[in-house]
Structure 1
């Protein structure tokens, strides 16, 4: 079925690393002092020149979160409730010739950084879940940033890398365009596992293949308070001129303690939001509801990676279902409305396949996915193409970057463009898995 798609080749790679999102700087000063900086979500950054002594700090929910640089050694300080804690990495606390410092809050994690020859390096990190509720909107509205001698800048957190890329589309699946500009949603990787990331929106110049960070999307849940950095998102422009936003609740997901994973439900699921705001620019907090994805007979404990397309007879929704963490496969649902879906089929022979993507090829809807490198040998590191019964009909002829790249393709001006990613990490050894990746752009030959 996918023989009609020509071979893809890599034509551009880029790695936008910005602790402080360039378009979202709210404070910039050469003076020391405290400045009110209300935040819509717990994804903020404050930077300053490097100097021995107290560095930048955040005041949130009655606590002061700060960092100290002493002879190249970095310490996080947490003050509040009459208590003071000083936290330092045993192995990674020492910076090499730092020229700048930064403190970030991403979800529940506070991280202290130094700007070194190799770029920004995380030197200390602490999970604040037992300290305060970083997602509380009232507390975020009263956020204060504190700048040391020499001043600095503050604003929304940017990203260490990009993954989970999707074209922003119309309801029928065609990419949204403004002349030579298309749009992508992506997961902006934070300093660690998935609970440090969030959803971002990027413009893509179809001529140069350069991207620009335009917006950030955050989410309220229907079942618990607070603002979450949920991600693996599909943004759909409705025929009525509004938006549908389908996303995965990775924003508070905890990595299983063992590779064997767990087989009990973890609350990881897909939600849906609607909005009439300009979601291609600025920062937005969206109210969500459950998107009821049918998993009859799949022994499913979690779902993620939604992709929505509306046809004449209703909606199709591609997604991923997990039997345990991490044992997962692609699935397809359909129905007359998004609240009335039934399971059409699933590729249950897969064990490490995600990125379910719906695309029209010669008038037929094709379901693409990504067989990860943890798949059985015969299915490893490839982009399978399924029909609507989830029977494999071919593969996408494209280079397969590391990790689990998604087959995000779009027909553009007589050819095809693919926007995917790899697993290359950033930010230093302390952070481990989760900071990937490079944005890998391909064109059809």
Structure 2
């Protein structure tokens, strides 16, 4: 097949290698859109670390001794009486440092404050005095919101320049901050930032390649869109009801420590072994045209709470930048699908790659290149899946607007017949006891005028149509 390069050969059981001809799955039926929804939650209930009454003082008071684990935080002011004259401040403080939102009910003005002097970085007058008002922190971006969920409106937004103000990604600085508030009586909720949209879905799999199920729910990872470009996003573990995949529930949040910083790396995979988890993730947390794949092992219980994992760079058989790792253990070998990026200008130029490693040494430079699709230049979303029991590597091509399917020889032998909306949606397929379905996302933004590119992520559910070709 023209445009495919292979570097190594391997010996799989012939019956378990998909053919390189045209192949049908799902009895020749195509997918069609069944449901679309937007998931927005500035402070998910499972991520709250403090909730209670506060206020009654003009001096800032620390309300919790919780030590922030990562610079992705939300502090919500609610339960205040707009007719009660006074100045409210809420956020995080340390000795000589404050990261605060401010609202003056006498003047109706709001502000964002950061640094040691308590001077506003930005301010405006609120159109209405309605609650709640929420301060969110995503790495070094501060945003003041009014309202909740998809109805949340942007009041103010600033980005801290690390050299001039503070770099909240620094562990020592962040760990010294505490949640605090002042002003007339109010209620305060504080915890870890949620999401403005969801994207990059990937099922968590066992060593046997099966989708992880716990208590009847399928578990997966997704990237949580933040208020801006990729460093404002982060990664989380979700679960869903396979019979109703729209029943999507945040279970835990994952952050990463590398190069001396606490970051929101995202878009990766988790493989469950006997006594540990293997985690691979893309280094979007400090992206500056330097994307690469990181990895770590963890014996921690990552199924709830908030976690920070120390990672290192994964050695890969490519000379280019990389992202979107998908890890699989199959027939006594490790398989890694990923994307390599040939360059960033005049546009990102990237394509899918398949690598393989022997069981003893996958992460010490042991991966060898099986092949890459050289024909494509806007193809990412590499995902291992089992279609009718056959192991395949799925991807998404933004130029052709289709979903190529590769076998473990890195031959493209078919394509998934499903709607292709906007952005480069990743094709996540679930095949259980009932009808197969597909979960993906699109490029629908959230307050793009305020934040630019990076807030995208409507969730889309596709189900099989009554007839027509499913793959061709």
User: TM tier, shorter chain?
Assistant: 0.7 to 0.9
**Displacement, 1:316?**
1.0
CA distance in 2, matches of 1:151, 1:127: 27
Q: Retained in 2: the 8 A contact 1:55–1:101?
A: no
C-alpha deviations, 1:187-215, integer Å up to 9, x for none? 01111111011111111011222011110
**Displacement, 1:368?**
1.1
Q: Which residue is 1:111 aligned to?
A: 143
1:214 aligns with 2:251: yes
Question: 4+ runs of 1 displaced by more than 6 Å?
Answer: none
Q: Retained in 2: the 8 A contact 1:173–1:358?
A: no
Change in 2 beyond 3 A, CA 1:77/1:227: same
**Displacement, 1:276?**
1.3
Change in 2 beyond 3 A, CA 1:312/1:267: same
C-alpha deviations, 1:93-150, integer Å up to 9, x for none? 7545643211111112111112289621222222222322312223333322222431
Q: Compare 331-340 and 131-140 and name the one that shifted more.
A: 131-140
CA distance in 1, matches of 2:290, 2:266: 14
Change in 2 beyond 3 A, CA 1:117/1:275: closer
1:79 aligns with 2:115: yes
Q: Which residue is 1:193 aligned to?
A: 229
CA distance in 2, matches of 1:362, 1:99: 51
Runs of 5+ in structure 2 lacking a partner? 1-21, 56-60, 466-472
1:121 aligns with 2:157: no
Q: Counterparts of 1:135-174 in structure 2 under 5 Å?
A: 135-148=169-182, 149=184, 150-174=186-210
SS across alignment from 2:251: strand
1:324 aligns with 2:324: no
Q: Retained in 2: the 8 A contact 1:61–1:132?
A: no
Q: Which residue is 1:30 aligned to?
A: 53
1:305 aligns with 2:333: no
1:338 aligns with 2:367: no
RMSD: 2.3
1:133 aligns with 2:148: no
1:289 aligns with 2:309: no
Q: Which residue is 1:262 aligned to?
A: none
TM-score, normalisation: structure 1: 0.87
CA distance in 2, matches of 1:414, 1:349: 36
SS across alignment from 2:261: coil
Q: Retained in 1: the 8 A contact 2:209–2:330?
A: no
**Displacement, 1:428?**
6.0
SS across alignment from 2:316: coil
Q: Which residue is 1:7 aligned to?
A: 30
Q: Which residue is 2:239 aligned to?
A: 203
SS across alignment from 1:251: helix
**Displacement, 1:427?**
4.2
Q: Please say which structure displays the higher CA radius of gyration.
A: 2
Q: Retained in 1: the 8 A contact 2:228–2:454?
A: yes
TM-score, normalisation: structure 2: 0.82
CA distance in 1, matches of 2:108, 2:450: 16
**Displacement, 1:439?**
1.6
Aligned residues: 417
CA distance in 1, matches of 2:426, 2:149: 32
Q: Which residue is 2:214 aligned to?
A: 178
Change in 2 beyond 3 A, CA 1:421/1:73: farther
CA distance in 2, matches of 1:143, 1:170: 38
Change in 2 beyond 3 A, CA 1:94/1:348: farther
SS across alignment from 1:429: helix
SS across alignment from 2:45: strand
Q: Retained in 2: the 8 A contact 1:195–1:251?
A: yes
**Displacement, 1:174?**
1.8
CA distance in 1, matches of 2:207, 2:440: 21
Q: Retained in 1: the 8 A contact 2:41–2:148?
A: no
Q: Retained in 2: the 8 A contact 1:60–1:140?
A: no
Q: Which residue is 1:40 aligned to?
A: 69
CA distance in 2, matches of 1:9, 1:435: 25
CA distance in 1, matches of 2:217, 2:149: 34
Runs of 5+ in structure 1 lacking a partner? 255-265
Residue 314 (structure 1) aligned to one of 333, 346, 356: 333
Q: Retained in 1: the 8 A contact 2:111–2:120?
A: no
**Displacement, 1:11?**
2.9
